[in-house]
Amino acid sequence: MPPSLQAPGFYPRTSCPVCESTATARIYTARYDEDPVRALVDSNFSRQGVIDWDLLEGIAFEVDKCATCDLIFQVQTPNEAMLEVIYTRMITARFLDEYERGLLTLDQFHRIAGEFTVLFEAIGKHPADITVLDFGVGQGRWARVARGMGATVYVTEIGDDKKRLARTLGLEVIEDDDIDTMTFDLVHTEQVLEHLVHPGRDFARLARAVAPGGLFKAAIPYRGKLEQLLTTKGLPTTAMFASGGAKAIPGEVEAFASIQPLEHLNAFSDTTMEWLSAKNGLKPVSQVRRRSVSFDTGGPRALIGGAKKVGVELAKAVMRPKIGYHLLRRS
C-alpha cells in the first residue's frame, strides 16, 4: 500500500532484523506518551519540527537483544507512512537545510577529504577511476567531497527534494533497486544503518554491491554499555543533540543515542558487525577512522596547528579507540 494511502503506525519486529533469530530477550519497555520516553522524544524533535502525539498515544517503546548476533533493536517499528511523518514533519526540510549548511565548513571539508584520501589510497586506483555508492546521501555533505576529488559518486535517497539537490551537485542519483545490478569500489554508509527497518537484508544487498577488492564503510553510533544502562537506569529524558544533553549524562550520551526512539532502530555491537561481515563475505580491515592531515604553511602558528592534528591522528592509530566505525573489504 502506498504511504499516502496508509495510516501512520507501527508494527512489531518478531525476530532479529539482522540474523532473523527468534532467540531474543526484552531488556527495556516503556510508553511513548509517558516519561522518560515522552520527554526524550520532545527534547529531540521539538526543535526540529512538529510532534503529533496522537500518533504515539499508547504505543510501547520496546527494546530487545538478540542472543545470536548481539543486536539491540527497537521492536515497534514505524511503517512507511509513519517514517514519512518522522522524516518530513518531525524533522523538517528547513531544519535539515540549516543544520547541514552549518556543517559545510573548511574544517569539515578537511576532515572528510582526509578520510576519503585514506580510503581511495586503500582502494589503489586513480580517483577518476573510483566508483562510490553513498547509500542515504542526505544533503550530500560527504558525497560532494568525494565527487570534488574526482570519483564518480552514485547516491540513493528517499524524497524528491534530496534527489534534486544531489543532481545539482553532479551526483549520479540511482533508485534503490539499481543497487542489485551494480558494483562499486566503495560502498559508503555514514550514520545510516541504524535507521534501517531491515538492516540484515539491506546490509547483504550493499555487501554484494562491493566490487572485488573494494571497501564497505559503515559508520554507526557507538552503543558502548547500552544494555547495562537500559537495565539499571532506563532511558534519559534529554536527547544527545538537545541543548545540554551531553552535559546531562556525561559518558553515557552516545550509548543512549544509539537507540534513539523512532530514529535509531538498531544498535550494533562489534559482535553484530563481525556476524554481518562473515555472513556476507567481507573481511574487517579497521575500526579506527583514519584521515590524512593537510598542513597550512602560512607561518609558525599554522604549522603548530598542523602538528597538533598529526598528533591526534597518531594517538588514534596507537590507542585504536572504538567509535562505531567499521571498514570492511571484499576479498
- Domain ranges for the chain, please list them: 3-99+222-267, 105-220+281-330
Mean pLDDT calculated for residue range 168-186: 96
CA dihedral 201→203→206→212, nearest 10 degrees, is -120
H helices of 126-269, where?
143-148, 160-168, 199-208, 226-232, 245-248, 253-257
Cβ count near 11 (within 10 Å): 12
Is it the case that residue 316 has pLDDT exceeding 90?
no
pLDDT at position 302: 60
Looking at per-residue pLDDT, the higher value among 88 and 185 belongs to 185
CB-based burial, 13-43: b 16+ in 10 Å, e otherwise: bebbbbbeeeebeeebebebeeebbbebbbb
pLDDT at position 293: 73
Mean pLDDT calculated for residue range 213-235: 95
Q: What phi, psi does 233 have (nearest 5°)?
A: -120, -25
* Contact between residue 218 and residue 328 where contact means Cβ atoms under 8 Å apart: yes
Would you list the DSSP string of 218-241? Answer: EE----TTHHHHHHHT---SS-TT
Is it the case that residue 65 has pLDDT exceeding 90?
yes
Mean pLDDT calculated for residue range 253-281: 95
Question: Which residues 6+ apart lie within 8 Å of 162 measured at CB?
Answer: 137, 138, 139
pLDDT at position 331: 86
Predicted structure pTM score: 0.90
Distance CA 209, CA 231 (A): 38
Was domain 105-220+281-330 assigned CATH 3.40.50.150?
yes
Is it the case that residue 30 has pLDDT exceeding 60?
yes
Angle formed by the axes of helices 199-208 and 270-279, to 10°? 50
Distance CA 163, CA 161 (A): 5
What helix, strand, coil percent values describe the chain, rounded to 5? Answer: 40, 20, 40
Q: Which pLDDT band holds residue 12 (cuts at 50, 70, 90)?
A: very high
State the residue for C-alpha cell 550493499: 206
Q: Which pLDDT band holds residue 254 (cuts at 50, 70, 90)?
A: confident
| pLDDT (tens digit per residue) in 125-175 | 999 999 999 999 999 999 999 999 999 999 999 878 889 999 999 999 999
